[in-house]
Amino acid sequence: MKPPIEPYDHGMLDVGDGNLVYWEVCGNPGGKPVVVVHGGPGSGCTTGARRAFDPERFRIVLFDQRNCGRSRPHAADPATDLSANTTHHLIADMELLREHLGIDKWLMYGGSWGSTLILAYAETHPERVSEIVIPSVTMTRRSEIDWLYRGVGRFFPEAWDRFRRGVPEADRDGDLVAAYARLLSDPDPKVREKAAVDWVTWEDAVISLEANGTPNAYSDRPGDAVMAMTRICAHYFSHAAWLEEDVLLRNADRLAGIPGVLIHGRQDMGSPLRTAWELAQAWPDAELVVIDDSGHTGSDTFRKALIEARARFAD
């Protein structure tokens, strides 16, 4: 990780639908363009993400996806309408930003939800992607969502029971994610706050076995950030990210000719390794690097592999 740096340019991009997307650029204006795609969905970009790439060699583009981070309106406000916040809207936003910055092709970097968005963008606009580096691969399939919010509960029965009991009794044997989406849009702030806490408490439980990871990675955020992230997560996952099941895998042939590195922890309970393995089988130009001592939130070995992958594409 490089020393802290500040952006040399930033702004608010009007993407339509009443939305302004915050963006910033760091590093070398003449360097190789790279776009950092944050996870969540709804987590926003952090200042630490600026430091992922060598600022002397890269032109580092970061942005906050719709309704989170410094983008406006913010999802923590219950009056913010999320109906114009879908995967397809975000792909269009990224294209608009690329054009606004005068970039022909960019290296794409991001993990977890960010990897789903990267794959969806790259399969739509492969001619605009030079390389891809993904830590912690997801494709946000209904099967993956069902695993994360129900299936993995077999390893954390107490925590999952608390998560399940966080929704009304009539919803407990149905779609828990959709039930949480309704609670997180409730007009009563106490209902919304409890749902947000229950959600991130479950997410923290799923990563709790990661000896080399980051404890409480989801709950250790400011209140507005937690509210926005949980609301956007529930919004996206209750709609399976508006993606047909397995569509990113079926269309992986569109990534032909784009070099990629997929880095995944074998101990990742929330996003099991099989997803990354399936993608690597369908995308011949991608290398899968499995990190045995890492889960979803990384380890020293994981971070070293990321540094090596990013450096590989510096030229």
Let me know if 296 is a catalytic residue.
yes
Of the candidates 74, 268, 294, 299, the residue annotated as catalytic is 268
DSSP string, the chain: -PPP---SEEEEEEEETTEEEEEEEEE-TTSEEEEE---TTTT---GGGGGGS-TTTEEEEEEPPTTSTT-BS-TTSTT---TT-SHHHHHHHHHHHHHHTT-S-EEEE--THHHHHHHHHHHH-GGGEEEEEEES-----HHHHHHHHTGGGGTSHHHHHHHHTTS-GGGTTS-HHHHHHHHTT-SSHHHHHHHHHHHHHHHHHHTTT-TTS-TTTTTSS-HHHHHHHHHHHHHHHTTGGG--TTHHHHTGGGGTT--EEEEEETT-SSS-HHHHHHHHHH-TTEEEEEETT--TT--HHHHHHHHHHHHHT--
Let me know if 268 is a catalytic residue.
yes
Of the candidates 112, 271, 294, 299, the residue annotated as catalytic is 112
- Active-site residue numbers? 112, 268, 296
